[in-house]
Amino acid sequence: MPQTLIPPGEPCLLSNFDPGHHEGLERAAAEEETRLHCTALDELAYRLFAEAKRAVVVVLQGIDGSGKDGAIRMLASGISPQCLDVKSFKSPSALELSHDFLWRVHAAVPAHGRIGIFNRSHYEDVVVVRVRKLVPKAIWRERYAQINAFEKLLRDGGLTVVKCFLHISKDEQRKRLADRLRDPAKQWKLGPSDLEDRRLWDDFTTAYEDAITHCNTPEAPWHIVPANHKWYRNLVVARLVRKTLEDLDPQFPPFDPALLAKLE
């Protein structure tokens, strides 16, 4: 397992993490291991659902083309839909903008028993919002502390937050965007604003590094997932989510023998 964590209090420098890292694993071996994790996830998610006392949310952040959709497809292949909530955060609507930035996020948090996956999240409110100057610095700067307090509130309510930054290189993004543009089934995913975001690569990197540095708490740390290889990214995310659920060790509710006595 690579070191995906940054010690809390230390600044996040993405250049310290190799996006092409793959432990020397071959694709086939990684895919096989991922399948085993997905099988385990199905059973663990079912237990969490039966227990119905705690929940998990997997936050996926990363630049366009970093593989958020692919990671979701992998997790959803392992977990029964009845235990899973997938939420994609887009540019906020007028209604969402008329509330505080965490309002729409809180509403999407999975209920006890469920696993949520956030395709983007409240971290957009300190990343894209900062890069594109959608709110003044005095506002987004306060949000790091607000996010940490929010995530503590969620944790106190029985939610485990797993935060993954899908880390790709600028070259790899170029390849992926070019593939998308040439693929009739994928070109619709890209618009002019995505290409503009690519031009702002360095600003996004700085905004991500600051967000990760300020919101890398011991209870809800950031994981920097090497994501140049899709199969390795899937493996790292699958391992992380499995480990999270294994640590929670959800239990089936106890059997009530009185129920059996009532069965006619």
Q: Residue 57: beta bridge partners?
A: 116, 161
Residue nearest to ligand AMP (CB): 124
Q: Site for ligand AMP (CB under 6 A): which residue of 124, 151, 172, 210?
A: 124
Residue 64 found at the interface with Mg ion (CB under 5 A): yes
Measured CA to CA in angstroms, residue 99 lies from 103, 144, 251 at distances of 6, 18, 37
Query: How far apart (Å, rounded) are the C-alpha atoms in residues 240 and 259?
Result: 38
Sheet (strand 222-226) strand order: 84-88, 115-119, 55-61, 159-167, 222-226
Q: Site for ligand AMP (CB under 6 A): which residue of 17, 89, 103, 144?
A: 89
Q: Which stretch binds ligand AMP (CB under 6 A): 6-14, 75-83, 117-125, 220-228?
A: 117-125
- The nearer residue to ligand AMP, 15 or 93, going by C-beta atoms, is 93
Residue 120 found at the interface with ligand AMP (CB under 6 A): yes
Torsion of CA 143, 148, 153, 155, to 10 degrees: 140
Q: What is the nearest approach in angstroms of Mg ion to the Cβ of residue 114?
A: 26
Residues of span 178-207 touching Mg ion by CB under 5 A: 194
Q: With beta carbons less than 8 A apart as the criterion, state whether 194 and 135 touch.
A: no
- The nearer residue to ligand AMP, 64 or 151, going by C-beta atoms, is 64
Q: Site for ligand AMP (CB under 6 A): which residue of 125, 151, 172, 210?
A: 125
Residue 128 found at the interface with ligand AMP (CB under 6 A): yes
Query: How far apart (Å, rounded) are the C-alpha atoms in residues 225 and 62?
Result: 10
Q: Which stretch binds ligand AMP (CB under 6 A): 123-131, 142-150, 173-181, 238-246?
A: 123-131
- The nearer residue to ligand AMP, 54 or 87, going by C-beta atoms, is 87
* DSSP characters over 10-36: SPP-GGGS-TT--TT--HHHHHHHHHH
- The nearer residue to Mg ion, 54 or 198, going by C-beta atoms, is 198
Query: How far apart (Å, rounded) are the C-alpha atoms in residues 182 and 10?
Result: 41
Residues that bind ligand AMP (CB under 6 A): 64, 89-92, 120, 124-125, 128-129, 134, 193
